[in-house]
Structure 1
Amino acid sequence: MSDLEHRIYELEAKVAFQDETIEILNEEMRQHQLLIATMQRQTQLLAEKLKEVQNSSSFGEEMVEPPPPHY
């Protein structure tokens, strides 16, 4: 094998490795995007629930408890 053939072989091996790495990273990125979308939706739902609780009539009002009978 000549020096030129050896260099071409090495370059082809590097490109193949890079292609595999890119595919792996692409799949990881896709999974992370799905997870982020799920977490954003959960955060949105929690914010809506919190707003509902804050707007309910019993939240935020101080509950005045009568003193115990021995006072």
Structure 2
Amino acid sequence: MESRLSELEVRIAFQDELLDALNLSVARQQQQIDQLQQQLRLLYQQMRTQSPSDAPARSLLDDVPPHY
């Protein structure tokens, strides 16, 4: 009984450590998502405020993949 209790305590300790590592990972990912969303908002605002005359003229040949 004592060994089973000890084994469970060790497993809980490892699970707590893993949970802390996962929480840290999720927090970092959320920060990255927030930064990417902010960058996307800024790019979207720049795109909307750019006048059509500022945009370079595009040709359909610009869309052809490089392997053609």
The TM-score normalised by the length of structure 1 is 0.73
Aligned residues: 56
Partner of 1:66: none
Query: Gapped runs of 5+ residues in structure 1?
Result: 63-71
- Determine which structure has greater relative contact order: mean sequence separation of CA pairs < 8 Å that are 6+ residues apart, divided by chain length: 1
Q: Tell me the percent identity.
A: 36
Q: How does 1:22-61 map to 2 (within 5 A)?
A: 22-53=19-50, 56=51, 58-59=53-54
Cα root mean square deviation, aligned: 1.5
- Rg larger for: 1
- Are 1:21 and 2:18 matched, yes or no? yes
Cα displacement (A) at 1:58: 1.3
Query: Gapped runs of 5+ residues in structure 2?
Result: 58-68
